[in-house]
Amino acid sequence: MLQLFGSFTSPFVRHCRIALLEQELPFEMVETDYLQSALGSPTKRVPFLKDKKLFLSDSLAILFEIRARAKRPVFRSSEEAETFCLATTLLDTGINLFLLSKEGLGPADSKYLERQTARMESGFAALEDRIQKDGAWSDATIRTACLLKWVNYRKRFDFSHLPHLTALHEQIEYDPLFQQTAPPPL
């Protein structure tokens, strides 16, 4: 049986859980903390997946495996891949800013962190345009939705001025898979 290692608050783990549920693949969710992920994965992060001799340590590789088992591509076009990658970049940036803020570091402390904060602004504006043009349910849309739910959950970015992203966020509020994979209350 597939074992997905991760935390219930990770947006990357959430995307993998949604894909597994969509494809109706049986799996065991193994809750994993920072120390366990450092020991269990060479990337020292979650998610990672194990199945017999298979070991995958990145959410995109995990999604490729899940979709391959269902004979479905992860991306139907380079545009869809670009939207996915943009949402992933924003998640990486947002998570780094969040973790550094827990250590008392913010944009005022570093030009690098200032640039990362600016990346969130410009990235969300670009994502707003991409979601408007795409609109189809795909792994790019799911990744974007996981981003929106995560920044809302962690109160990391206000996207209420972006109507297409706000509409997507409202749409997934009642989606059964998003409800089933919601993180625990803070």
Which pLDDT belongs to residue 70?
Answer: 97
Which pLDDT belongs to residue 7?
Answer: 98
Q: For the chain, how big is the Rg over CA atoms in Å?
A: 16
pLDDT tens-digit readout, 133-154: 666 789 999 999 999 999 999 9
Residue 30 pairs in a beta bridge with: 5
Q: Which two tokens stand for residue 150?
A: 């995560």
Question: Residue for token digits 């600016």?
Answer: 118
Which pLDDT belongs to residue 136?
Answer: 72
Q: Where are the domains of the chain?
A: 2-69, 78-180
Positions in the chain whose pLDDT score sits under 50: none
Write the CA distances from 168 to 26, 51, 175, integer angstroms.
28, 33, 11
Fold of 78-180: Glutathione S-transferase Yfyf (Class Pi); Chain A, domain 2 (1.20.1050)
Which pLDDT belongs to residue 43?
Answer: 95
User: Which sign, positive or negative, has the C-alpha torsion 32, 57, 105, 159?
Assistant: negative
Report pTM: 0.96
Q: How far apart are CA 116 and CA 113, in angstroms?
A: 5
Residue 76 CB: number of other CB atoms within 10 A? 13
Which pLDDT belongs to residue 113?
Answer: 98
Type of residue found at 25 = L
Strand 2-6 relative to strand 27-31: parallel, antiparallel, unpaired?
parallel
Superfamily of domain 2-69: Glutaredoxin (3.40.30.10)
Helix (H, G, I), strand (E, B) or coil at 44: coil
47 prior amide bond cis, ω within 30: yes
